[in-house]
Amino acid sequence: MTRLVAGLALAGGHGRLLLVLGLVAGVLLPGLAQAMKPWLQELVAFLLFLAALRVGPGRAAGSLRGALPTLGLTLAYQLVLPLGAAGIAAAAGLAATPGAIAIVLMLAASPISGSPNLAILSGADPAPAFRLLIVGTALLPLTVIPVFQAMPSLGGGGEVLIAAGRLLGVIALAAAAAFLLRRTLLRDPGATGLRALDGASAITMAVVVVGLMSAVGPALRSMPGTLLGWLALATAANFGAQIGAAALLRKAGAGPALPALAIVAGNRNIALFLVALPAATTDPILMFIGCYQIPMYLTPLLLSRAYRRMADR
């Protein structure tokens, strides 16, 4: 057991490298990527469990006491931003294009389940991201309705409510199991224990991204030009949302919470819509969803230093 903890702690110190290796494996090993796809739901649930275990019930309860600012930020992320994007797309006559649909769906989605893990790998406090994950997922059935009304090409969105409810149930079960473990067998994990949890999160995220990249490897060989176009759009959307949010959060005096809050702005659970919308809507944007994983998993490597400087200021 001691060797396992030490090995996981070592992995935690190289978490960013593990994410990059996961991206590379997902592109270069399409057979492995296809084999991982059936296990994605279980792996995502395990990521939620690890995030809740890392945060702990005490910090989670403390962070939820600031629910009003979290509510406001959630509404800004999941309602104001996608409605603004939908309005711009409609004014430009692009509302029915795959690119516009992809951007609006991305902004309308709740935070990715691994957002607290990304915060950890960026050297930030995961509690604000965990708080936004809970509130954002809980509010998704409400915030998504006006967005779908603003984009008629998306359909009615009734299945989104079911998918959001299912995800909220998974979060609740994972958090309950993790908090019970922290209250009983893992009351004080210590610095080494926390690093081991960080390592377990990094390894799990690296495995998850292999499955999420299953469509990217074949596209790189068959249609590289199209893939690069989608990658450029996904990177601009992800990093643009993060950097814009970070600049506004710094002016608002977010302080140490800034990195986690900014990470959530650009890293959204757009894959949720794959199980909630008809294939006719999601098939044209599958390439975007695959490419979107690349800036997501590069966030700790490329933006963590800038986030720390902004938080310190």
Torsion angle defined by CA atoms of residues 304, 305, 310 and 313, in that order, rounded to the nearest 10 degrees: 140
Question: What is the structure's pLDDT at 78?
Answer: 96
Q: How many Cα atoms occupy the beta-carbon half-sphere of 296 within 13 Å? A: 30
Q: What is the pLDDT of residue 228?
A: 92
pTM over 0.85: no
- Read off the DSSP letter of residue 268: B
CA dihedral 81, 82, 84, 87 (to 10 degrees): 180
How far apart CA 144 and CA 75 sit, in angstroms, is 11
39-312 is classed CATH 1.10.287.70: no
Query: Would you list the domain boundaries of the chain?
Result: 39-312
pLDDT in tens, 90-145: 999 998 899 999 999 999 998 988 888 899 888 888 889 988 988 888 888 888 88
Q: Provide the pLDDT for residue 158.
A: 62
Q: What is the mean pLDDT of residues 138-166?
A: 75
At residue 287, what are phi and psi to the nearest 5 degrees?
-65, -40
Which among 59, 219, 198, 215 has a CA at the least distance from the CA of 123? 198
How confident is the model at residue 59, as a pLDDT? Answer: 61
Looking at residue 33, its pLDDT comes to: 77
Nearest in space to 307 (alpha carbons), one of 142, 123, 134, 140: 123
Most confidently modeled of 16-20, 172-176, 250-254, 264-268?
Answer: 264-268
Ranking 32-41, 56-65, 224-233, 252-261 by mean pLDDT, the lowest is: 56-65
3-state helix, strand, coil in the chain (%, to 5): 85, 0, 15
The three-state (H, E, C) secondary structure of 113-177, written as one string: CCHHHHHHHCCCCCHHHHHHHHHHHHHHHHHHHHHHHHCHHHCCCHHHHHHHHHHHHHHHHHHHH
Tell whether the model's pLDDT for residue 157 goes beyond 60: no
Beta bridge partners of 268: 111
Residues 265, 129: Cα–Cα separation, whole Å: 10
What band does 262 get if pLDDT is binned at 50, 70 and 90? very high
